[in-house]
Amino acid sequence: MITIKQAISQKELKQFVTFPFSLYKDNTYWVPPIIKDELESFDKSKNPVFRDADAQFFLAYKDNRIVGRVAAIVNHLEIKQQNVKKMRFGWFDFEDDFTISEALLQKVADIGSQNNLEFMEGPVGFSNLDKVGVLVEGFDHIGTMITWYNHPYYKDHLERLGFKKEKEYLEHKFPEKNADPKHFVRINELIKKRYGLRPLNFKKTKDVMPWADKMFDLFNESYASLASFVPITDIQKAYFKKKYISFINPEYIKFVVDKEDTLVAFAIVMPSFSEALQKAKGKLFPFGIFHLLKARKHSKDVIFYLIGIQPAYQNKGVTAIIFNEYHKTFREKKIEMCYRTPELADNTAIQQIWKHFDPVVYKRRCTYKKPI
């Protein structure tokens, strides 16, 4: 018999966070989170997303042993702005037993009914900057710090329980050597001259910070047309600045501005922390922080995290300026492989940006939907 209990106390929330450590104990591709950071993201006094969203965290027990988990999320901002009565679920992990996954998702459905919502979709996080999707292809590739990894049976459970594929996401990769300068060096100069644009490069994080709010504003503007997009609020901007920007290598943040110093494009790249996180085993101290700092400085793999272009400048070759700057940085740091975060399969505009780099799809993930 499966028993579902809400994780409320700090001890229970830590059990919620650490359950995958046992589920993926012998898996060489799973990348663990930093336990402290994960707990802070669930702390309603620290994460500003809870000003516009509610979340409950549940653990599944069988014979007094934890065998699964799920987060049930109601994003009131999303419901109000998009007028979609969606019940979100995420952090969905479970042993290969249909009674476990069924019991967890039934709890999500019950909460959705209580809130008069019409369907549930997941796995998704609290907002657009959280992890998304269940992996359906690419199980033999190491995960990243910004995606979920899961066993192949997850998809089978969702489909058997009546869920249908809602959105598909693709993850691409390409060797840095594919970045042939002939595709962007000359165009870069033409675009800068035609539109009066110039790149901004940084060596210190403190020089990035004054631009961070403008970057998040541009993120909201450039992604507004995508399905299920919810803008980042001012309070969330401050939170993300503190949590993410201060840890990203400043030389991996590229901005493009016009003659009035108005931000028209940005891109954020991160070194791969996957192997460092595996070595850290969920803890920053005493040695985890050293693995992360080493990866920050010496990783030869990078992940393109975000790229945004002001709508008025889209399809005008502005990405050539960004790629030209990254090309110089990557060659200096001897970067070998470039990876891209999950992108909607129907987002052809973003895929066109990368066409000259001959990227290959190495992972696919999906969200699944079911009426309540």
Contact 4, 104 (CB under 8 A): yes
- Residues 365 and 362: their CA atoms lie apart, in Å, by 10
- With a cut of 70, say whether residue 156 has pLDDT above it: yes
Write down the pLDDT at residue 227: 62
pLDDT digits (tens, 9 = 90+) for 171-180: 999 999 999 9
- Residues 217 and 236: their CA atoms lie apart, in Å, by 12
- With a cut of 70, say whether residue 161 has pLDDT above it: yes
How does 190-227 read in b/e, with b if 16+ C-beta sit within 10 Å? Answer: ebbeebebebbebeeeeebeebbebbbbbbbebbeeee
pLDDT digits (tens, 9 = 90+) for 200-235: 999 999 999 999 999 999 999 988 776 667 788 888
CATH of segment(s) 2-171:
3.40.630.30
Give mean pLDDT, residues 161-174. Answer: 97
Residue recorded with tokens 């100069």: 189
| 175-362 belongs to CATH 3.40.630.30 | yes
Please give the mean pLDDT across all residues of the chain. Answer: 94
DSSP three-state, residue 12:
helix
- Residues 115 and 121: their CA atoms lie apart, in Å, by 15
Q: Please state the domain extents for the chain.
A: 2-171, 175-362
pLDDT digits (tens, 9 = 90+) for 321-344: 999 999 999 999 999 999 999 999
- With a cut of 70, say whether residue 196 has pLDDT above it: yes
Burial class (CB in 10 A: 0-12, 13-18, 19+), 85: middle
% residues pLDDT > 90 (the chain): 85
Helices (H), 27-67: 35-41
Residue recorded with tokens 């929330």: 13
Q: What confidence tier does 88 reach under pLDDT thresholds 50, 70, 90?
A: very high
Q: Please tell me the pTM assigned to this model.
A: 0.94
pLDDT digits (tens, 9 = 90+) for 240-277: 888 788 789 999 999 999 999 999 999 999 999 999 99
**Nearest alpha carbon to residue 77 among 132, 19, 135, 126:** 126
Length in residues, the chain: 372
